[in-house]
């Protein structure tokens, strides 16, 4: 006798579900019994334009596999339109149980050349969008005293990367948002977790690959297909994850990673207090061995995906 689908009877909103990781999560959730709202405006990688075609393609795949899905082409980056995304779940399926904040754009540029438009566009979709959609669902979660959030973070924010100050700030901000939701809504049996996904998709195919080192890195990333991130998203959205909240996970090929949050690494004390000169002479030499290295994601995850 086969086990019941893990998300049977649940309704999920997956933003950015028109392609890549979002599409794979939407499909996996539908296969596991969830009714899915495919929320995607069909914009370009940098956030321009709009088309229903990507969402329609995702819906066609879900339908072919016997699942149930509807499309919403509203933007996550505005409060009113984000409300409509959640309302679409209520209108079509009568409830909402799962929110996957996956929608994203990129405006990669070195910090000293980044414009306010580059900054605001990325923050609005990733960070503000995660807040808007989550907040819209919170009223329903609170009334029914249940619900799950799965937010997409990134090692660009957790660790660091070149040319992504906007994206990195948004993605690390999302981890703090998720932890705050987990704390504030625990009393309503609502859970909130993050996934830092590793995958080759249109969000990563702009990585430069001109040097042998860069080409080797891209070859490693290409092995990590978007579907490798879907099982963790399904699990975190399911009742099987009832005790899991406020965490940040990574999915890298067949590796599952648990990330830590910043905590005190070393403390120095002086009963008489500190002067700038004493900090230079005593405190900083004592603290320096515990400094966070100025490293990047690719340097920390330097081994081939396994």
In contact, 178 and 165? CB cutoff 8 Å: no
- Which candidate in 132, 141, 149, 167 is catalytic? 167
Inter-CA distances, 99 with 35, 87, 220, 282, Å: 12, 12, 30, 49
Dig out the tokens for 231 from the structure.
């099982």
Catalytic annotation present for 188: no
User: Which residues are part of the catalytic machinery?
Assistant: 167
């Amino acid at each position: 006798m086969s086990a019941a689908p893990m998300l049977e009877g649940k309704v999920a909103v997956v933003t950015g579900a028109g392609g890549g990781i979002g599409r794979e999560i939407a499909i996996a959730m539908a296969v596991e019994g969830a009714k899915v709202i495919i929320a995607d405006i069909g914009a370009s990688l940098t956030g321009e334009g709009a088309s229903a075609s990507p969402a329609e393609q995702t819906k066609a795949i879900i339908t072919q596999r016997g699942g149930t899905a509807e499309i919403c082409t509203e933007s996550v980056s505005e409060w009113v339109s984000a409300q409509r995304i959640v309302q679409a779940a209520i209108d079509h399926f009568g409830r909402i149980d799962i929110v996957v904040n996956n929608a994203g754009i990129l405006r990669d540029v070195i910090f000293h050349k980044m414009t306010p438009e580059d900054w605001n566009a990325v923050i609005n979709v990733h960070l503000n969008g995660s807040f808007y959609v989550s907040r819209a669902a919170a009223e329903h979660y609170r009334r029914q005293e249940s619900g799950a959030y799965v937010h997409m973070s990134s090692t660009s924010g957790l660790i660091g990367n070149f040319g992504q100050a906007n994206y990195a700030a948004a993605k690390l901000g999302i981890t703090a948002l998720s932890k705050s939701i987990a704390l504030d809504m625990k009393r309503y049996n609502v859970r909130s977790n993050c996934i830092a996904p590793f995958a080759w998709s249109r969000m990563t195919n702009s990585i430069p690959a001109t040097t042998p080192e860069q080409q080797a890195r891209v070859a490693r990333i290409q092995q990590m297909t978007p579907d490798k991130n879907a099982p963790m998203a399904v699990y975190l959205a399911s009742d099987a994850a009832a005790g899991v909240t406020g965490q940040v996970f990574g999915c890298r090929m067949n590796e599952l990673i648990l990330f830590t949050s910043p905590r005190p690494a070393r403390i120095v004390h002086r009963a008489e207090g500190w002067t700038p000169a004493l900090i230079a002479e005593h405190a900083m030499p004592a603290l320096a061995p515990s400094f966070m290295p100025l490293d990047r994601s690719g340097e920390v995850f330097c081994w081939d995906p396994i």
